[in-house]
Amino acid sequence: MTNTISIIIPMLNEAENIASVLEHLLENSTAKNIAEIIIVDGGSVDGSEKIVTDFFTTSSKIQLLNAEKGRAIQMNFGAKHATGTILYFLHADSFPPKNFDNLIIHEVTKGNLAGCFRLQFDNNHWWLRLAGWLTQFSWRASRGGDQSQFITKKLFHDIGGYNERFTIYEDNILINELYTRKQFVVIQDKIKTSARLYKKHGVWTLQYHFWTIYVKKWFGASADQLFTYYKKHIS
């Protein structure tokens, strides 16, 4: 079977980034490897949808779907409409490396059915550079949704997709399941992602809140408790 990739991007008010991301994806992949690029909008009001539809004349593979707001809900909805053998979940402010499609397909062909890329922030703060450097290792603590997530459609469905009870932390829930199954690889090429939340809140303040959420989940906090904390301190 020939592997193809369905790229799935959950979107909510991403007018500032989505055009650049779509251009980047088209320019840094081989058309035959991409089944479609599915943008799932959760109710944008900033013109994001118009920017996406303008790309319909550029590529017939770009699709725009609408779903209830919530990253897990949006990504699961995109997965239901995907036709590729591999699902690639990408944030709307992240730019995967050149030939990312070939890199992903190569890993799947070798039997690595899920994984991510190394991370690089678009900011030179020493802590963010260190955080990015640490993502080259296979440690579970170094994982996060900003690194993007590829997974075969079959494995994704076997797991049950993203847990929609989690308004935040849904990436980590899926990653935990993959680590439990010993089915995760880190591709050493780098994905570049926005450090906009760090710029907004301050590096140390935001990192403290992320660590707090991680620890809360470790000690058994519920999905609602995590979201309440996130909404109070970050959102």
Higher per-residue confidence, 167 vs 38: 38
Alpha carbon separation from 51 to 55, 57, 183 (Å, rounded) = 7, 12, 36
Burial class of residue 74 in the structure, from the number of CB atoms within 10 Å of its CB (0-12 exposed, 13-18 middle, 19+ buried): buried
Share of the chain above pLDDT 70, in %: 100
pLDDT value at residue 73: 98
**Rg value, the chain, Cα:** 17
Confidence class of residue 1 from pLDDT cuts 50, 70 and 90?
A: confident
> Do residues 118 and 191 lie in contact, with contact meaning Cβ atoms separated by under 8 Å?
yes
Higher per-residue confidence, 235 vs 120: 120
Query: In angstroms, how far is the first alpha carbon of the chain from the final one?
Result: 43
CA dist 49 and 12 (Å) reads 9
Would the pLDDT of 174 be above 80? yes
Q: What is the pLDDT of residues 73-100, one digit of tens each?
A: 999 999 999 999 999 999 999 999 999 9
Would the pLDDT of 161 be above 80? yes
Q: State the DSSP code for 135.
A: T
pTM of the model: 0.94
Would the pLDDT of 141 be above 90? no
